[in-house]
Amino acid sequence: MASSIENNNEKLTLKSSDGEEFLVEKHVALQSTLLQNMLDSDCSSADVIPLPKIDARTLALVLGYCKKHADASSSKQGELNSFDSEFLKDMDMGALFNLVLAANFMEIKGLLDIAAQKIADTIKDKPHQEVREIFHVENDYTPEEEAAVREENRWAFEGFP
């Protein structure tokens, strides 16, 4: 903790894909392994760090998550857990996808895990045809092949089209 308090005054600037700049305390940015590695490899904190794959709306969410976790680290886990579930509660699929991509890019493991879990919860009751649409997967089965795969796993399809 001592080191993060020491660094509390240091700030760095992150720039989203749509050009918005975010001033971030360093200990918050350190939640991201990507940013941590950049800082360790001597990037000056005065520089603006561009994040070309992340839009402003998503970046704001990511930084909200990081701030909560940076400030709360070593404090109550239960509080963080309820923050996490509240954080994702009403988020739509599009935002979730952007978030999971950003977490992956910025290497924020906790966020990646909860966002992936949330997406899994959202898609698990959807028919596989809809899952195909969501992930833009092209159906490369012939109808016969698909029927065969379905038959192999017939019990899992009870109640599904």
Partner 1 sequence: MEWGRTEVTETEQKTRFPDVPEEIILCILLELPIRYLLRFRCVSKRWRFLISDPPFSISVQRRHVIIASHYYQPEFSLHCINDDGSIMEIPRPKPLQFAGCLRIGGCLRIGGLCNGLVLLNSSEDLFMWNPFTGYCKKVLLIEFLKQYSDSSIMDVSGLCYDSSTDDYKVVTWVRDGETGTACMVGSCRTKSWTKNCDPYYKKIESSTLVDEHLHWLVTESNIGEDPFSLLTNLIVCFVPQTNKFVKVPMPDYKVGLIKVGLGVLNGCLSLSQCISKKYNDIEVLVMKQYGEKESWTRLFVIPEITLLYWKDKLVPLCCIKDMVLRFRLGPQIQAILAWGLNKKSQGVFPIPNGSRYIDSASRKYSFASQPLQRRGRVHGNLALCGDKQVEA
- Return residues touching partner 1 (CB under 8 A): 90-95, 97-98, 100-101, 104, 112-113, 116-117, 119-121, 123-125, 128, 131-141, 146, 149-150, 152-153, 155-157, 160
7: its two tokens: 């660094």
Least CB distance to partner 1 at residue 3 (A): 30
Nearer residue to partner 1 within complex by CB, 15 or 150: 150
- CB neighbours (10 Å) of residue 61? 21
Alpha carbons 154 and 80: distance in angstroms, whole number? 40
Residue holding tokens 């894909």? 17
Least CB distance to partner 1 at residue 117 (A): 5
Burial of residue 90, with CB atoms counted within 10 A of its CB: 0-12 exposed, 13-18 middle, 19 or more buried: exposed
Least CB distance to partner 1 at residue 10 (A): 31
